[in-house]
Structure 1
């Protein structure tokens, strides 16, 4: 829990304001800090002054900072900066408001089997991410795993080192914690490998499942001997876990499963860990404690011996009145004022979409609490697996922002792809774009440097995307938009679907299944599954392919099920982009010739289908218990309507008024939606319940003779975000769900307005390379990645 700052403790470390003390180790102190007055909190580790005076130690610490910068994982506390040359060297990582696994087990006892499986799968994924970056953890133990609402986080890479580097410890110094070492640790630090981390994970899971150290207690020499022989006592480990933990604890490193395989052996990452009630309550105390600190308005300071002691805080909170830096003690806030201040601090954090909202809105096991009705809901557990122009897999256009997903070492950057792009997806690990030539290019989100490229070349004569003279769309290599999902990238082109490693581009698996649909077509990826459209037969009468939806496991491409979307009796004028269109809460939605259908994602069983009056909907946006769609008219005089549907059965809840004229909704929540007017590019914010306009923001006019194009808006945290060729635009959504003003941020390196090519070419159509196309906007971790149609890419910070 949080501790008060002692006399002489720093008030600032680098750019961070110090708020409280988190603890201490042999090397120095660890503090809770924040960046100015933002809602983002960090753990900042400092070095003792006697160590800081040693040049060799500074060199080792400098390497530690570099190693931390290699770590990018959704299940590890993200490093955000450090300075080995400061007077007091420091390293900052994301702060995880929760107990360590060791604290949780000591207080509440062993975890149930489902929680151990989920815990292990996520830590295995974190190890896979570390190893992919060339980093070993080397001290995996219960004290280095923090438990948060949405899952565990691996911390403390202080004795990690890159593959091939010399040890970061002094010669002969044993690295690791005896009860959670591997045989290679005992043999010598230079013998430690990636398999050693897996052995330590086996020990950690044994502890989580039994509450006991796997190699017993007693004299240190006896414990180390049992470790060196891999002589673990697994008798008390539940039978369901014994085999997989035993495999991790194999004496021969070659017999231990790789972290990627271990993820699947433990059940994958399909749902948040089902923490038992005592652990949830334990985690909640940290959230409450953090809210108390925010409400106090300043750092947590030691109370002088003569000062009154405040005891109204939660258990374990050493709460003290806030002191001015050099002034007298401020009296405690009266109870009513303090309660209002606490509530204000809590609401502010919830609206910011940070972790605290997750603690406050976490549902009970069987009776979920109603969401706070104060504007767009702050999502619980705001980890983002990947973002494209529709937001997340639910296509709602709502993208939570999580500062922990900011790449280590990020600074604003500008890059150039090898050719124009249209269709991108990204997260903190990779930004991948489809080019007009049917290729894929991957950039590092931290600095814009090229990571890898993929050139399908399955159709040698298909090297350019274009719109034909009659309006038909022809995509080079029949390439779909890419989808980034955690550490993987899913591509579909030609007649295959392919999964690659996000950082290296290495192919994990490939299956012969893909049917080119439209420009916006993409695989749908969620909860360890991939859903794609693929041809199953061809009607020889009208040369139209019948299409089915195929479901595969993301880990290895195993086919789960397939369902037919068309019946073969369609006229060409009736053909649509029949394909999966969204995913939410275990349901995948696909467009069939009978309208949108909801399938159980694991079995393919039909859960629901739209009724006749909503069969003209071709896309769907899912939010909570509802789904929203708008008719698409293919004939003159057809009345259009917006529909609110049950998100499971697709039964109609009500028929809604249309959005403002000319607006295609880009994001939808229960209280606010927005889209860009097709003709003018103006942003319209409206209430989806009644179609009433809440705000209108005109597009900035382009200079004479030049043209602009506006991206589709997304709801990033609590602000609407969209862009043109010169600037980033943000409109904050207030607590009442209403927009509160427009902010224009110029984007350095943006190409600016340009001359539009004449698309009217009756003989050959127009290529995508020549077309004026909207920018791609990817908001992740408080940053915006902007991909312009001529291949320029820029990354800037979202306004706060």
Structure 2
């Protein structure tokens, strides 16, 4: 932020009038300035000066002269443009365009890690800057979070203090370390003469790790230990969101030849130039504060000066300085009010035009209206509070939870959509499987299409019909149990800023906000009732093959086919054929159903790492939680007793006896597992599926909370009866664990059960959902030729993310409400 000019600070540097102090470094100070006598343009510059004692060293002046020459070679829209310099002045200086915003390090320290979409866009723009630098024959050599400034329209690379032409000799004395330890490359550690363009790419990888996690990628501790980890490229990527690990790992390759070029990295990050840069709201506000501060400085009519100390004896307490902290609230431009002391001879009309220009900048810098400063600045904000510890960011959530299918969804308030308020929306057709993330909520409809809503306000974003066939008007279950899904359309998968769609043997990845197709592949297999792509580790896993008996992996970034693996070793009869497909991803493994039961495959190679024992071969559902995988046979009639197997998450070998002991009242109910955390196992008996009028047609036994180690019942919560006294139907969603709360929905309300540290459940709360459709009567229609899924009453889905629950009802109604806090 802007600081006052201390007594003795320069009032003019070269052709520039000094306005305020921006900061200081080891070699000197940096000032905000503008061309002397220019009171009309809104061009401001950052002027870097060198301390007098340092400037007295002829060798340093030579180095600074080379720095100015190198800076003059930089011509990039993604770097702060150099505008001049003088190494031979009494106080050497170098001026670049001023970027009104925080550095990346300041933004992350204040607001925590950036969301995936912002990291992608940040990395792409800095890579473009490096491409421009390298194209001009310049190496940066000190790429770190403090040298990337954030403006409203993207990052800007600054500080070429140790940059040099790649044709020049080294600018440092032999043995002098150049760079910042945590953001060096192995070549930096080995010696400055070995630094190449690939070294800048390595440093960019470290910088993006920091942006995505808020932590230095090579840890802390003694300098020697950090430098050793850098020299061996031993970066810790465990906290980096999985969709970013591939590109970042490529940047951090030990061998420079294995690193991508900046141009190739732009492609790996999978993002084009953004029309509106995807900064999160907190960063936009942070940038807006810089615009507002600049506006106040202009309104003050002169430089920001430090007030003289009072003459009274005793401790000196610095009073408010003129300028930023004593500028009155700006009146409308038609009647401006400014403090005394304008620049001598400055016409008021020109000052007003400049003020309007800077205020307009502040409006834009505040994030398209979030920090509106016209006609008067926003009131001062309360002192910034320390950000809460950042939880894991969830790439996407569906009715099963996340990709591990455990039914557990971490809640991170930073993922709440910017500007979110409770909302209600209506899809154009009944919903039939949905997925949500920070950027979009996408539903499959029973007529075979996709519809996307904005998770912040429920407004439509885009729709897609991959199989435009008028015969695909409905999804049905035939009289013999055969399932027809309109358009062979799968449940969508939202993952970060991407949406994966699979319909009519067409696999597409689209931009979550715009719906623009990023890539498409052909020939995945036909969809089943609950089939959906599984996404993890930068990879999309789908069922494939002529007989729908394979799993194929595609790169999420560009659609490259990575590998395929067969899920059958023989030619099963129709009676033996099951839905052979991937069902979950966790810990570098993709889990799929094969003719031998569930198998665990290496997500990078497709090689089998594990398989369930023979007694668990009949399992139809699987979820992964930490070291364990749980699976259970599922029965559409809800009549068979529950068997819940606990397996090693890697080998799928039995753990202990292999079967979790369950109370008799649970096993006999026909319950099925819904959510499994390290402290809590949740099973639910909802009765038979809505369209199954056979088997267990009695009253559903509700939700059971169990100890996952012993199977002991910790809590039991009844659910509404399937049919009320008035004949209207009522079903509940599959329960999920959202943060520390067990959560499910019926047709009228949310049911919330707090979970203690040891997993012990508390008292259930029932919170009405505004706009929920409520119970309804079963629609009469002719079912002789099958069941029309769109006309049946089906359970709702709950998609919890960022402390918000999106509740999707079978009618197409979607309601978004805040999860109550205890």
Structures share a fold, TM > 0.5?
yes
Secondary structure of the 2:785 match is coil
Task: String of CA shifts for 1:116-149, please: whole Å, max 9, x gaps.
Answer: xxxxxxxx9xxxxxxxxxxx99757343452699
Offset at residue 776 of structure 1 (A): 1.3
Distance 1:263 1:482 in 2: 31
Show the counterpart of 1:278: 220
Distance 2:406 2:473 in 1: 33
Where in structure 2 are the equivalents of 1:136-535 lying within 5 Å? 139=101, 141-146=103-108, 206-208=141-143, 238=185, 242-243=196-197, 275-278=217-220, 381-457=391-467, 459-535=469-545
Measured at CA, do residues 636 and 462 of structure 1 come closer, stay the same or move farther in structure 2, by a change above 3 Å? closer
2:749 matched to 1:727? yes
Distance 1:248 1:199 in 2: 17
TM-score, normalised relative to structure 2:
0.56
**638-647 or 272-281: bigger deviation:** 272-281
- Counterpart of 2:613 (choices 603, 608, 611) is 611
Q: Which has the higher contact order (CA 8 A, sep 6+)?
A: 1
- Counterpart of 1:738 (choices 760, 764, 767) is 760
Distance 1:444 1:672 in 2: 33
- Contact preservation (8 Å) 1:407, 1:445: yes
- Counterpart of 1:771 (choices 792, 796, 802) is 792
Offset at residue 719 of structure 1 (A): 0.5
Secondary structure of the 1:572 match is coil
Distance 2:130 2:592 in 1: 41
Distance 2:810 2:115 in 1: 38
Offset at residue 690 of structure 1 (A): 3.3
Distance 2:507 2:132 in 1: 34
**398-407 or 510-519: bigger deviation:** 510-519
Distance 1:272 1:143 in 2: 9
Where in structure 2 are the equivalents of 1:120-139 lying within 5 Å? 139=101
Measured at CA, do residues 656 and 555 of structure 1 come closer, stay the same or move farther in structure 2, by a change above 3 Å? same
- Contact preservation (8 Å) 2:634, 2:672: no
Secondary structure of the 2:455 match is coil
Measured at CA, do residues 386 and 205 of structure 1 come closer, stay the same or move farther in structure 2, by a change above 3 Å? farther
Show the counterpart of 2:576: 574
Offset at residue 459 of structure 1 (A): 4.4
2:780 matched to 1:747? no
Measured at CA, do residues 238 and 448 of structure 1 come closer, stay the same or move farther in structure 2, by a change above 3 Å? same
Offset at residue 678 of structure 1 (A): 2.1
Offset at residue 762 of structure 1 (A): 5.0
- Contact preservation (8 Å) 2:524, 2:544: yes
- Contact preservation (8 Å) 1:546, 1:566: no
Distance 1:466 1:156 in 2: 41
Secondary structure of the 2:791 match is coil
Q: Where does structure 1 lack aligned partners over 5 or more consecutive residues?
A: 1-24, 29-59, 61-123, 125-135, 158-179, 183-191, 215-221, 250-261, 283-353, 359-380, 538-544
What is the Cα-based RMSD across aligned positions, in Å? Answer: 4.7
Show the counterpart of 1:665: 673
Distance 2:717 2:783 in 1: 36
Offset at residue 516 of structure 1 (A): 2.5
Offset at residue 692 of structure 1 (A): 2.6
Secondary structure of the 2:763 match is strand
Which is greater in Rg? Answer: 2
Show the counterpart of 2:267: none
Distance 2:169 2:107 in 1: 22
Task: String of CA shifts for 1:163-208, please: whole Å, max 9, x gaps.
Answer: xxxxxxxxxxxxxxxxx9x9xxxxxxxxx99966997999998435
Offset at residue 224 of structure 1 (A): 8.5
Secondary structure of the 2:392 match is coil
Offset at residue 508 of structure 1 (A): 0.5
Distance 2:649 2:801 in 1: 26
- Counterpart of 1:552 (choices 542, 551, 554) is 554
Secondary structure of the 1:613 match is helix
Show the counterpart of 1:693: 713
Distance 2:594 2:213 in 1: 28
**781-790 or 700-709: bigger deviation:** 700-709
Task: String of CA shifts for 1:53-88, please: whole Å, max 9, x gaps.
Answer: xxxxxxx9xxxxxxxxxxxxxxxxxxxxxxxxxxxx
- Contact preservation (8 Å) 2:680, 2:759: yes
Secondary structure of the 1:712 match is coil
How many residues are treated as equivalent by the alignment?
Answer: 519
Show the counterpart of 1:642: 644
Offset at residue 225 of structure 1 (A): 11
Show the counterpart of 1:622: 624
Secondary structure of the 1:739 match is coil
Secondary structure of the 1:404 match is helix
- Counterpart of 1:782 (choices 783, 803, 806) is 803
TM-score, normalised relative to structure 1:
0.57
- Contact preservation (8 Å) 2:599, 2:608: yes
Measured at CA, do residues 758 and 613 of structure 1 come closer, stay the same or move farther in structure 2, by a change above 3 Å? farther
Distance 2:708 2:561 in 1: 38
Show the counterpart of 1:756: 778
